[in-house]
Amino acid sequence: MLNKYARAFFTRVLTPFASFLLRIGVSPDAVTLIGTAGVMAGALVFFPRGDFFWGTIVITVFVFSDLVDGNMARQAGISSRWGAFLDSTLDRVADGAIFSGFALWYAGTGDNNLMCAVALFCLASGQVVSYTKARGESIGLPVAVNGLIERAERLVISLVAAGLAGLHTFGVPGIQILLPIALWIVAVGSLITLVQRVVTVRRESAEADAAAAGASAHGGEAV
């Protein structure tokens, strides 16, 4: 839900900027690559040092490239399978960098092995949640469920909490607790989403196999 409405809103807002980039000769693929590089830099340079506020600001600026590149491709009429593949692949890279940044903080200066493990679980579960839908669709199933927490929710919950937690360095007391709370929410929500998608794929595959078996039986009787 968040993904649907947020994308619609920001697509309208960013359309003039996408048009400007096209006019000066920037390609959608270049925006995708630059956006991913910016997110990785924000996550892997700032987060491991505990500089969550500025890291979140940098990531937020570059994460909008995910909307700008698609907008540019549609305006230019150059949407392609390659562009969709590149965008989806680099989304996974960016997500991995963000949660890796959290894990590096907790493994180092943050000194919390449990939260390091939670951050790593968020990283892994997010990748697997995306894989289950892609794999289900690749074998011809609709995978007609989104689940509790999708990519947009994972990013918003994590980055908002990280940005607020970063206000601790500006003298706001106790606010750093928001980050571990957010990571636990993302971890549990991702697990629930994974279960939802696996159950859906199992049900849809059983229905598809039964339909295929029925069609085969009817075909045999007709012969």
Give the catalytic positions in this structure. 91
DSSP string, 76-139: HT---HHHHHHHHHHHHHHHHHHHHHHHHHHHTTT--HHHHHHHHHHHHHHHHHHHHHHHHHHT
Q: Which of 183, 59, 162, 179 is nearest to 119 (CA)?
A: 183
Judge contact between 157 and 7, C-beta under 8 A. no
Looking at residue 60, its amino acid is T
- CB-count burial class (<10 Å; 0-12, 13-18, 19+) for 101: buried
Distance in angstroms (rounded) separating the CA atoms of residues 126 and 176: 23
Distance in angstroms (rounded) separating the CA atoms of residues 202 and 162: 36
